[in-house]
Amino acid sequence: MNITRENIDELNAVVKVEIKKDDYQPKVEKILKDYRKSANIPGFRKGHVPMGLVKKQYGKAVLVDEVNKLLQESLNNYLNEEKLEVLGNPLPKAQDNFDWDKEDYAFEFELGLAPKFDVNLNTKNKVTHYKIVANEEMIDNQVKTIQKQYGKLVSKNEVEEGDLVAGTFKSEDGEIENTTTLPVEKIKGKRNTAKFIGAKVGDQLSLKSKNLFENTEDLTEFLAVDAETAEDLDVELSFEITEVNKQEPAELDQELFDKLFGKDQVKSVTELKEKIKEDAENQFEQQSDQQLLNDVTEKLIEETKFELPGEFLQKWIMTSGEKELSAEEAKEEYDKSEKGIRFQLIEAKIINDNDLKVELEEIKDLTKDRIKMQMAQFGQMNPSDKDLEDITARVLANQDEVKKLSEQVLNKKLLDTYKEKANLEEKELSYEDFVKEVYN
């Protein structure tokens, strides 16, 4: 067997694989002998079929199969031994006059080679690294939300602002009848709100569906009608009040703090606010980090220049999917994926240049951290080492989970590398301002 390579240019090459009869014949003969032992052909006893008949019936198929196996194996070995970084897969060149009746064969493959380039993390233009802070307004709102969530309902007779009102909506034609509970603040307009404020249990209010709520979703929920009906609904309604409740906020006391964070973890309103701020900013950091990954990625793609074997990749795309594409479809698909191909190459270069590796212990540590967080949500604050090890082992038995966790560990290492080496400019702002700046 002989393998040679002709470099067309820096990004394209052709590999020629020459296979001689001596390379495949011993394997073919062995397989045919095995076939002869088990062949079941009418007129011959099992194991006594003439070899000539076995070769005639199975010889060509076995030959083609073995040559193709040998071809694939030798090509893969060659690419590995030569340390060739290829894009896509080798593409066989068409041979119009190929003849399987010959004893020696030659095959040619087109290769798309990965470009050589350098990545400079210290980009010319700075990348914004957002530091999102929880301001006083956000913290105070979160405290109110907690008080509301853990508060209690107190029954009363007369409706005031902020109350929850239970009752039954009915239309004059009888097509609507729904018992529901709604917050007074859901009612739209001063005229409609005035009908509720001061009303008592047992009162029956006369209303119109049009402009009763801010949106059709509320109409759908509180009148139990479908979205299409709610869109243009304009009917007379009655609402009989059956219950009025005021939601009293929970006291900011030790009982509430223990319920939220565990016994004696938080002991004052000041500590509560500090905890809320810490938790919120930890969550914000995840969003900030993801944005940093996105922004550094965009900047590196923009500033790292190199050519791709575009013509080869389009030919490869034509035949690599479940359905063969036309040249026009393949070009369209290539145009869509070119940016992703570029960053895959850039990322691989960064990983190699910075010797970023994922160790099994790092995957296990990440898994344990995730398990602890999940268990804490159900009140299990201190799981035993044995429980953690057992659950971790079950998680890591799933190869898909291992792959996801490995990618997460690697992304964290990339992020740390960017924070250390990229040309960053820190910007501190509130979450609301972050959303406005990044997503609007």
**CATH assignment of the domain containing 56:** 3.30.70.1050
| Residue 66 near residue 82, CB atoms below 8 Å | no
Q: Which tokens belong to 50?
A: 């003439």
Identify the pLDDT of residue 97: 84
- Residue 177 sits in the same domain as residue 105: no
Domain assignment of residue 136, yes or no: no
Identify the pLDDT of residue 199: 96
Domain assignment of residue 128, yes or no: no
Domain assignment of residue 228, yes or no: yes
Task: Flag the least confident range among 17-21, 279-283, 372-376, 407-411.
Answer: 372-376
- Per-residue pLDDT of 305-347, as tens digits, reads 999 999 999 999 998 888 899 999 999 999 999 999 999 999 9
What distance, in Å, lies between the first and last C-alpha atoms of the chain? 62
Domain assignment of residue 232, yes or no: yes
* Mean pLDDT on 40-64: 83
* Mean pLDDT on 396-415: 94
- Residue 417 sits in the same domain as residue 286: yes
- Residue 401 sits in the same domain as residue 288: yes
- Per-residue pLDDT of 214-242, as tens digits, reads 898 999 999 999 988 888 889 999 999 99
* Nearest CA among 383, 134, 381 for reference residue 258: 381
d(CA 262, CA 276): 14
- Residue 211 sits in the same domain as residue 283: no
Q: Give the structural domain span for 52.
A: 2-113
| Residue 227 near residue 220, CB atoms below 8 Å | yes
Q: What is the pTM for the complete model shown?
A: 0.72
Q: For the chain, how many structural domains are there in total?
A: 3
Among 51, 85, 113, which residue terminates a domain? Answer: 113
Q: Which tokens belong to 117?
A: 């380039």
Identify the pLDDT of residue 54: 83
* Mean pLDDT on 105-119: 95
Buried b (16+ CB within 10 A) or exposed e, 248-274: eebeeeeebbeebbeeeebeeeeebbe
Domain assignment of residue 131, yes or no: no
Between the CA of residue 205 and those of 161, 169, 176, 225, what are the distances in Å?
16, 9, 15, 20
Question: What is the residue type of 325?
Answer: L
- Residue 295 sits in the same domain as residue 428: yes
Buried b (16+ CB within 10 A) or exposed e, 307-337: ebbeebbbbbbbeeeeeebeeeebbebbeee
Torsion sign across C-alpha atoms 407, 409, 411, 417: negative
Identify the pLDDT of residue 136: 93
Domain assignment of residue 144, yes or no: no
- Residue 232 sits in the same domain as residue 274: no
Is 90 exceeded by the pLDDT of residue 365? yes
- Residue 158 sits in the same domain as residue 207: yes
Query: How many other C-beta atoms are found inside a 10 Å radius of the C-beta of residue 363?
Result: 21
Sequence-distant (6+) residues with CB within 8 A of 68 are: none
Identify the pLDDT of residue 320: 87
Between the CA of residue 319 and those of 109, 244, 322, 338, what are the distances in Å?
14, 68, 8, 17
Identify the pLDDT of residue 173: 81
Count of alpha carbons within 13 Å of 154, Cβ hemisphere only? Answer: 12
What is the 8-class DSSP label of residue 236?
A: E
- Residue 286 sits in the same domain as residue 185: no
Sequence-distant (6+) residues with CB within 8 A of 352 are: none
- Per-residue pLDDT of 114-170, as tens digits, reads 999 999 999 999 999 999 999 999 999 999 999 988 999 999 999 999 899 999 999
- Residue 291 sits in the same domain as residue 427: yes
Identify the pLDDT of residue 175: 87
| Residue 241 near residue 201, CB atoms below 8 Å | yes
Domain assignment of residue 421, yes or no: yes
d(CA 418, CA 123): 11
Q: What is the rounded average pLDDT for all residues in the chain?
A: 92
- Residue 99 sits in the same domain as residue 176: no
